[in-house]
Amino acid sequence: NAGVTQTPKFQVLKTGQSMTLQCAQDMNHEYMSWYRQDPGMGLRLIHYSVGAGITDQGEVPNGYNVSRSTTEDFPLRLLSAAPSQTSVYFCASSGQSFYGYTFGSGTRLTVV
């Protein structure tokens, strides 16, 4: 049981480049979310999804796009990377709302 798989684990981008962070889960979970973690800020919600074809914005959505074409996958796209997007990104998934989320191991992104 792989759980939540994120790729890549590390990435360095130049300002203005675009890229996609991949997230896949094999638990048939309805809910999936993307968070970014910055020192002293906790985890802030970027985008989330309650099922295939349904996405919504979280607390800090600007500069990021998502789509959910299948239950398993929830990629996060950075449209034009900026140094302010340097962060650790976590993908998470959950079944019913009274379950906790299961987190991936994270992607450490540096934008130079």
Q: How far is the CB of 68 from other proteins (least distance, A)?
A: 14
Q: How far is the CB of 93 from other proteins (least distance, A)?
A: 11
Out of 24, 32, 33, 81, the residue judged to bind other proteins by CB under 8 A: 33
The Cα 67–Cα 39 span in angstroms is 27
Task: Return left, alpha or beta for 39; rule: phi > 0 is left, psi -120 to 50 is alpha, else beta.
Answer: beta
Strands 107-111 and 10-13: parallel
Query: Is 70 a residue that touches other proteins (CB under 8 A)?
Result: no
Query: Is 77 a residue that touches other proteins (CB under 8 A)?
Result: no
Stretch that binds other proteins, among 16-24, 40-48, 65-73, 75-83 (CB under 8 A): 40-48
**Structure tokens belonging to residue 79:** 């449209």
Minimum CB distance to other proteins smaller for 11 or for 17: 11
Q: In this structure, what are the phi and psi dihedrals at residue 77, rounded to the nearest 5 degrees?
A: -110, 130
Tell me 73's DSSP state: B
Query: Is 109 a residue that touches other proteins (CB under 8 A)?
Result: no
Query: Is 28 a residue that touches other proteins (CB under 8 A)?
Result: no
**Structure tokens belonging to residue 10:** 């590390």
**Structure tokens belonging to residue 17:** 């480049």
Residues lying near other proteins in the complex (CB under 8 A) are found at: 33, 35, 40-45, 48, 50, 56, 58, 90, 92, 94, 97-106
